[in-house]
Amino acid sequence: VKIGIGLPDLARKQLKACLRENADLFAWSAAEMPGLDPEVACHQLTKEPSVSAVVQRRRRQSPEKTRAA
């Protein structure tokens, strides 16, 4: 689990405590969710079989946007 750096210290401590206290309630993988219908949990891309995949060109950002990201 990753916690954003913009979260205030008090909220960060409370979130960590909550996650530790309730770690047994979270499902960390699909194997921990018996009975889950794969049609609900799986994502598929529909693609026409006769069409070949095309790699898009790389989009570059301005230096200001790169630094901000």
Model confidence at 3, pLDDT cuts 50, 70, 90, reads: confident
Average pLDDT over residues 20-40: 81
pLDDT above 90 covers what percent of the chain? Answer: 23
**pLDDT tens for residues 46-67?**
788 888 888 889 888 898 988 8
Distance CA 3, CA 13 (A): 10
Q: Which helix (H) or strand (E) element contains residue 38?
A: helix 38-41
How many Å is the Cα radius of gyration of the chain?
Answer: 21
42 pLDDT exceeds 80? Answer: no
Report pTM: 0.41
Whose CA is closest to 15, among 25, 34, 1? 1
Q: Let me know if 12 is exposed, middle or buried by CB neighbors in 10 A (0-12, 13-18, 19+).
A: middle
